[in-house]
Amino acid sequence: MTPDSQLLYKLYEAFNTRDVERVIAMMHPLVKWANGQHGGYVHGREGVREYWKAQFQLIDPRLDPLDLEMDDQGRAVFTVQQTVRDLTGQLLLEKTVKHIFSFEGGLIRTFDIGGVT
């Protein structure tokens, strides 16, 4: 397992326990992060922090990594089981998606969301 893939497994673990500061520390200061709710991107660590803060006030998402591969551009592509519940625990969404990461200096530089499988 490469250092980048180890970092991503830790990222999902921290995300699922809502340890946002631990996740933010894994990101490049100028990270470009896909906004899965509204489209487009949020930029920088503070942008991601605010995005998640707003998201966690509305929904309770969980991300479980299933498979990891590298694409032809050297990016890490995780197949992830995404489960989203409302704040009362009611299931809103369950699907498999692709999360695509690039790295710079051992930190996450970009995050994109690929197709649903």
Is the per-residue pLDDT at 56 higher than 80? yes
Residue 98 has pLDDT above 70, yes or no: yes
CATH class of this structure's domain 3-116: alpha beta
Query: Does the pLDDT of residue 63 top 70, yes or no?
Result: yes
Question: Which pLDDT belongs to residue 29?
Answer: 98
What tokens appear for 14 in the block?
Answer: 């921290």
99 conformational bin, left if phi > 0, alpha if psi -120 to 50, beta if neither: beta
Residue labelled with tokens 């660590």: 45
CA separation, residue 41 to residues 30, 73, 100 (Å): 12, 20, 14
Q: What's the mean pLDDT when you consider all of the chain?
A: 93
pLDDT at 110: 97
Distance CA 85, CA 46 (A): 25
pTM, entire model: 0.90
